[in-house]
Structure 1
Amino acid sequence: MATMTLFHSPLSPFVRKVMVVLHETGQLGRVQLQAVNVSPVAGDDQLNRGNPIGKIPALRLEDGHVLHDSRVICEYLDTQHVGLPLIPRQGSARWRRLTLASQADAIMDAAVSTRYETFLRPADKRWDGWVEAQGEKIRRSLANLEQEHLAELISGFDIVAIGVACALGYLDLRQPDFGWRDQQPGLAAWYAEVIKRPSMVATAPVA
């Protein structure tokens, strides 16, 4: 039975990350989905209750408290199931995985910022230098994943792999000409297999 409410926008990569965690941990049935349509200049009154900054995703718990930020929500959900944890519980491995998960989130942040700048901002006010800087952040991060962390991604579908997969999916959705596969063939091969997972298929965005 659904005891929590997830405020979401289906095209958000951060929302997708939470949805993949729900699928992977068998908790989808505990959550009722509440779609909201928000942007940097338009909020939602229901979303703002208990979440004054208006962030999505936001998870309203059974007791009425609201968790926001995908990292917080994913960590909470990871403590609510009996399977293998997606985030190491302690030690250096925990901080290493959380740091890499943050890197995946930063790719999403840069991609979403680019979307806002190129789609929502009036054409005469767009800042090309900003867009170029976001693209460089993404390219550096993907190169780092390819060169230094590919073996870790291949080793299991944990919180890092989920974040990277959702980030790549969002790039394909919003910047299909970004060309990351040409520069990161190992990452591309890994992603081609990962997107076959039921959790990724079920959460695939449709523009």
Structure 2
Amino acid sequence: MRELTIEGAFEVVPQLHGDQRGLFTEWYRFDRLAEAAGRSLRLAQANLSVSSRGVVRGIHFADTPPGQAKYVTCVRGAVLDVVVDLRVGSPTFGRWEAVRLDDVERHAAFLPEGLGHGFCALTDVATLSYLCSATYNPAAEHAVHPFDAELGIEWPGTTPLLSARDAAAPTMAEAAAAGLLPSYEVCRSYLASPSHLP
């Protein structure tokens, strides 16, 4: 497991066991995540997202608490998966980092509550699997525009496909001014509570 430059976020590199029959891998291990991240992931919901080439989804985040931690892997095709620090007061506030997730190397990304998440589909069809720490709550879900110039995310491709919601999302500065972004200190306090410890 490799910690990203954004506190609490990890790229997970599983061991692949392959032979002439195919492949086997443990794509999620709660004990190894707890050991590396210093916390457990309470599994509350699992999602699949299917996108065509050039689709950009995100940047999505949820009110914290309770927030929504995510463990994401690409089970078909490939995506550029992006983690954004949206926690006001964080030393890396506004910073983003991208990792490639695909169906060959089988890497995964772990994002704790309070971080933003988005991705761009790099193949004709890309399917992501999400393990989530909380169930979907539309009233607590928010987005920041994925092409916000202040964020400067380097998305691949020239003609991205966005949902109407993502196309209308505020910039990070607008979301901050509206009081939508999570607080770094509130996120840290929430994650230090006994329910998140291994």
Same fold (TM over 0.5): no
> Which structure has more helix as a fraction of its residues?
1
**Structure showing the higher strand proportion among its residues:** 2
Larger radius of gyration: 1
Give TM-score, length-normalised by structure 2.
0.28
